Amino acid sequence: MTEREAILGFMMGERMKAALIAATQMAMAIEGLGEDEKEGANKVFSIFLRTLYQDIGLAHKVSPQEQWADIRKELDGGLVMVDSKVSHGSVDNLSRAISHATTISSRAMTFLKDKALL
């Protein structure tokens, strides 16, 4: 890992982690909606998750780490649940994706600390 990859990996990992935490909260909020509201909320939530999916491609290019693929895999599982209209079922996948994003950030931070850049 280069310094540039570590800096970008840390930034993208933290950004992804924050977005995944927000996604988890969205999934739980959708569960509390009335049936007439859930359909639209699920569509918006699906679009949001697909946007994160695209961001992973960029993140992997600027900071190649295997955990990006793991996050993508978890998002795939979450999207299946959302597209099946059971958004709350995506919470487990999103939680595991948060863990992978945390690992990316942690590795990048450790690298930067070792180089006395952080």
Domain total in the chain: 1
CATH of the domain at 69: 1.20.120
Looking at residue 104, its pLDDT comes to 95
**Token pair for 103:** 């690992």
| Alpha carbons 22 and 44: distance in angstroms, whole number | 13
Mean pLDDT value of segment 25-49:
92
Q: What is the pLDDT of residues 93-102, one digit of tens each?
A: 999 999 999 9
Q: Could you tell me the residue range of the domain that residue 91 belongs to?
A: 3-114
By the 8 A CB rule, do 42 and 87 touch?
yes
Helix, strand, or coil here: 8?
helix
Within 13 Å, how many C-alpha atoms sit on residue 16's CB side?
38
Mean pLDDT (the chain, rounded): 93
pLDDT category at 112 given cuts 50, 70, 90 is very high
Asked whether the predicted pLDDT for residue 114 surpasses 90, the reply is yes
pLDDT category at 70 given cuts 50, 70, 90 is very high
| CA terminus-to-terminus distance, the chain | 15
